[in-house]
Structure 1
Amino acid sequence: MVPVIDHVAVLGAGGWGTAFALLLADAGRNVTLWARDPRVADAINTERRNERRLPGIELPVQVRATSDRSAAVADADAVVIALPSQTVRANMTGWALPRGVPVVSLAKGLEEGTGLRMSRVLAECGVAPDQIAVLSGPNLADEIGRREPASAVVAAAEHDLAVDIQRACHGPNFRAYTSTDVTGVEVGGVTKNSIAIAVGMAIGLGLGANAVAALTTRGLAESTRLGEAMGADPLTFQGMAGMGDLVATCFSPLSRNRSFGVELGRGVAVEAALAHGRGVVEGARSTPVVAQVAGGIGVDMPVVSTVCDVLAGLLTPAEALDRAMARELKPER
């Protein structure tokens, strides 16, 4: 018998968490959205809006918000983690999730200090590995909020679990595909943020389509190398969670990581550029972790390493460009 997922708890009322709650409601689910700030929860319940994180979007009545941790997950058939990656462990430590329900991670990052993917963090926080799924793809929150068509990949070690989540979020404007390559889907979701920062810096420097295309393509090669070294299927990086997510994040001005990179390219300091953004720029904190993990297993990631040096203040974006162009000539691979 197919498990019925009717009530979904979405933990995290940022732009992506709010947009995902909306698409779940459009797919026929009842959603409880947890917001850390009681004022955000009240505004969602009374005004049907989360104006700071998803401006101009009216939320369906099937989405109810709360700032109460226990109430958020009570009677949930599935739990969605839509928290910034570096806060997942701390938040999960204080949560008592319903036993045996699927837990879906939307978080895109590697944990500082451990280098762990979010599915591994969840497992260390007590979630059974066979109940963990991850969802990733070209999913810009503002477009999801406007109900523009979008797709993603749901990956889980257990294929049946991936299918259950796929069915739960399938709606008139959202189509999900399934995979069992959890590692590949997560690595693609992490590395694309670093590459988007690099693309943004190139745009901020006034460079054109040639530079953007080159950075995106070489970034995909780097992501694939890292994924393979970590045990992923390289074909995953040709799909929705790899190339698809990379294209959306690198090419759209709606991308927080790209926009952050543009500011850096224009000469804005890192902290000031972060302060200008709407929402969390995951790549700003995950890029050094990606570089550290890659170095530890002998994977060459020059684009990611260069972004890391810019974030650390060791290079300006213009110096980073000069370094990239001066690299040793070699075959494409």
Structure 2
Amino acid sequence: MTGSVPGQHGPRAAVLGAGSWGTTFAKVLADAGCAVTLHARRPELARAIGETRENPDYLPGIALPDRLRATTDPAEALRDAEIVVLAVPSQSLRDNLVEWAPLLPADAVLLSLMKGIELGSTKRMSQVICEITGAGAERVAALSGPNLAREIAEEQPAATVIACTDQDRAAQVQAACHTSYFRPYTNRDLVGCELGGAVKNVIALACGITEGMGFGDNTRASLITRGLAETARLGMALGAELTTFAGLAGLGDLVATCSSPLSRNRTFGEKLGRGMTLEEVQQTTRQVAEGVKSCRPVLDLASAHGVDMPLTEAVVRVCHEGVPAAQMVKEIMSREAKPE
């Protein structure tokens, strides 16, 4: 089975980052008719993808299309690319971009797959991209939604949002990744889509923690709902559209990430909830749980705008201040009662 749309020949695309989501999205682009070059840092991974048509480290068992090539040379990956997809861990974006910026084609759309807020600067990923590359905001887009990589790689139906202030560029990316199993919508609200993607990882950690402590569906539903409320509060303070948080990049992504065992952040939180330390959990996984690093800058951003984010604050305390998970739950439940 293949998800490609017959007779379609899409643009040239470069995907920088060969983790599970970068590789999956490269597959989506290839299935939609793009010629795709995937950049992997490690030569043995690039070679394995080329020889076995599979990413053995991050997506074992998933056949990759022939239209997808892998290379360790960023210049080769970026040559003549019309769409450049950035799929590295959020906190490594700045350093990577400094290296890649001189190689970027002058008019390419720069599409962020990253869901995080930068430590220290509290910048969203699109702001970091504009700052380092000098690209105008109209060239930068972000993709967000309920997008668990493994399910999409298996061609299970999913929808997503491409957010960009320039409608034409959003439509260009939309056409480039639309397949029989992957349905992209466009949205002009870049701020809301990026915030939804970043904060949901933090809320998923909270859901995982309570799951690890043995709590059930009521607890999770309460956290998802209150988590959505605090995400929307921060979004409104930063000029986002309220409706974005009711959509795929808000509620959709939040539900998937908080509910699925495939979610890195939820799984990470679950281990914390069972009593493992942050360091112990980090040693058990090669995948990056973005919420662990992003929770502090999200809270800093909220504080700078006078926004109350109790769940985010609780996650920061567990992840970075050594507060036991049981104490976190007690603190949340003993907050002053007030109207919803």
Which range, TM-score by smaller chain? Answer: over 0.9
1:81 to 80, 86, 89: 86
- How far residue 314 of structure 1 moved from its aligned partner, in angstroms, is 3.6
Consecutive aligned runs of 4 or more in structure 1 exceeding 2 Å deviation: none
Please report how far the alpha carbon of residue 129 of structure 1 lies from its aligned counterpart in structure 2 after TM superposition.
1.6
In structure 2, the residue matched to 1:61 is 66
Instruction: Please provide the CA RMSD for this pair.
Output: 0.9
Matched, 1:279 2:287: yes
What's the counterpart of residue 306 of structure 2? 298
Q: Is the 8 A contact 1:256 1:277 kept in 2?
A: no
Q: Deviations over 1:196-222 (max 9, x none)?
A: 000000000000111011011100001
Q: Which residue in the other structure is 1:7 paired with?
A: 12
Which residue number in structure 1 is paired with residue 55 of structure 2? 50
Which one of 100, 103, 124 corresponds to residue 110 of structure 2? 103
Q: Which moved more, 1:310-319 or 1:144-153?
A: 310-319
Match of residue 31 from structure 2: 26
The match for 2:95 is: 90
Q: Is the 8 A contact 1:306 1:320 kept in 2?
A: yes
SS of aligned partner of 2:186: strand
Unmatched runs of 5 consecutive residues or more in structure 2: 1-8
| 200, 203, 214: which one aligns with 1:206 | 214
Q: d(CA) in 1 for partners of 2:220 and 2:286?
A: 23
CA-to-aligned-CA distance 1:305-324 (integer Å, 9 cap, x gap): 00000011341110101111
Map residues 1-333 of structure 1 onto 2, 5 A cutoff. Answer: 5-95=10-100, 96-125=103-132, 126-332=134-340
Question: What is the one-letter code of the residue matched to 1:310?
Answer: V
8 Å contact 1:216–1:247 — kept in the other structure? yes
Q: CA deviation at 1:86?
A: 0.6
- 1:6 Cα shift? 1.6
In the TM superposition, what is the alpha-carbon distance from 1:278 to its structure 2 partner? 4.0
Question: 1:293/1:285 Cα in 2 relative to 1: closer, same or farther (>3 Å)?
Answer: same
1:293 positional shift: 0.8
Structure 1 residue 5: Cα displacement: 4.7
User: 1:68 corresponds to which letter in structure 2?
Assistant: D
Q: Distance in 2 between matches of 1:127 and 1:15?
A: 27
Q: Which residue is equivalent to 2:5? A: none
Deviation at 1:135, TM superposition (A): 0.5
Aligned partners of 1:268 and 1:11: how far apart in 2? 33
1:263-308 deviations in Å (ceiling 9; x for gaps): 0000011011122124111001000110111011100000000000
Contact in 1 for aligned 2:205/2:291 (Cα 8 Å) = yes
Between the aligned partners of 1:321 and 1:25, the Cα distance in structure 2 is: 45
Q: Tell me, which stretches of 5 or more residues in structure 1 are unaligned?
A: none
Q: Which stretch has the larger CA shift, 277-286 or 295-304?
A: 277-286
Distance in 1, matches of 2:284 and 2:62, equals 21
Give the letter for the 1:175 counterpart.
R
| Count of matched residue positions in the alignment of Structure 1 and Structure 2 | 329
- The DSSP-based 3-state class of the residue aligned with 1:94 is helix
2:10 touches 2:32 (CA, 8 Å); kept in 1?
no
CA deviation profile, 1:120-174 (whole Å, cap 9, x unmatched): 0000012222111111000000001111111100010111111111111001110
